[in-house]
Amino acid sequence: MSGERIAAFGPLDTFSVGFSGIGTLHIVEEGEVVLRIDGAPQVERAGRGDVILLPRGDAHHISDVGEHAPAVGRAGVSGRDAATPRPARWLCGTFTIGDPQASHLLASLPAVIVLRGARGPALEGLEVARRMILIEMQSPSQGSAVMVARILDLLFIQILRAWAADAGAEPNWLVGALDPQIGPALSAIHRDPGRHWSVEELARACCLSRSAFAARFAERVGKPPAAYLALVRLDAAAELLRDTSLPAGSIGENVGYTSEAAFSRAFKQRYGKPPALWRRDARARRSSRGGET
């Protein structure tokens, strides 16, 4: 993941702006907006100070409150203010997703993460980052594009941290990674996915009993350790297929599979294609991007 660009919207009385296929961050500066996920019933209403992150790049629209003013309530907004909202102003940052591992990991995150009011110790840096972005937008100079991209990176990480730390966060790899009792096991798996990890070994890395570790891992990550290890191995295999010329059988061995047939079946189930065909298509996509101007 890497920050791409930032844009400022508003003030507008009536609007509907669509976004698709790219990770997106919205920071509401003034007024209120309504977010709709395309093809889904979900509607989110956000006001000044709220931060909205769509980490997976789900297609969505940001629009004026309009007819939702009396129907969709929001804490802290009076009936009079809701009926006559101020023209909305908001910042929108976008992110590019660089590799198959990122896209698969992000796919397990919620479509929308909303932080109301962007308050609390975990988000103290948000306001500073917002001001820095505004300065770079209003008075651009050499290196402004790089500055904005790096600030967007930091905002993305900060928002995910705050979401994962919330007691109500859904089980997820990120929730597990930030759990001090489970994080060491995830680090070990990602550091050496080809090792023949046992639940006992991973439990020892976390200083937990086997049963306590297995229960907490499933509770925080959302799947058993063995199932998570299998996904990490296949994502590592995809990276090797894309970036090296190693034979598929050797790659399967490197990530922990004892037979090429078992590796091929598991890879096809994960990625929808056998390793050789996936590699060919990945290289074709890379070649096509390299030829773009």
Q: Which of 80, 44, 46, 76 is nearest to 60 (CA)?
A: 44
* Residue 268: Cβ within 10 Å count: 15
| Per-residue model confidence (pLDDT) at position 99 | 63
Per-residue pLDDT at 98: 66
pLDDT 10s digits, 66-103: 755 544 444 444 444 445 567 888 999 988 876 656 66
Q: Specify the 3-state DSSP secondary structure of 103.
A: helix
Of 12-16, 84-88, 158-162, 212-216, least confident by mean pLDDT is 84-88
Kindly state the average pLDDT of the residues 56-75.
69
Ranked by mean pLDDT, which of 66-70, 131-135, 146-150, 258-262 comes out on top?
A: 258-262
Confidence class for position 155, pLDDT limits 50, 70, 90: confident
- Greater pLDDT, 106 or 236: 236
pLDDT in tens, 27-40: 998 889 999 999 88
pLDDT, residue 11, reads: 75
Helix axes 225-243, 210-221, angle to 10 degrees: 60
Name the strand (E) or helix (H) holding 51.
strand 51-54
With a CB cutoff of 8 Å and minimum separation 6, the contacts of 79 are 70
Distances (CA, A) of 45 to 13, 32, 72, 84, 179: 16, 7, 7, 15, 30
Output 58 or 169, whichever has higher pLDDT: 58
Note the pLDDT of residue 252: 95
Across all residues in the chain, what is the average pLDDT?
Answer: 84
Q: Which residues pair with 30 in a beta bridge?
A: 89
Q: What's the full length of the chain, in residues?
A: 293
Return the pLDDT at 78.
40
Torsion sign over Cα 166, 168, 173, 176: positive
In angstroms, what CA-CA distances link 84 with 30, 48, 87, 170, 254? 13, 15, 9, 35, 62
Residue 292: is it exposed, middle or buried by C-beta count within 10 angstroms (0-12/13-18/19+)? exposed
pLDDT digits 0-9 by tens, 95-145:
887 665 666 677 778 889 988 875 555 566 777 888 888 888 888 888 888
Q: pLDDT value at position 65?
A: 85
Does this model's pTM top 0.75? My answer is no
Could you give the percent of the chain with pLDDT greater than 90? 40
Beta bridge partners of 262: none
Helix, strand, coil proportions of the chain in percent (round to 5)? 50, 20, 30
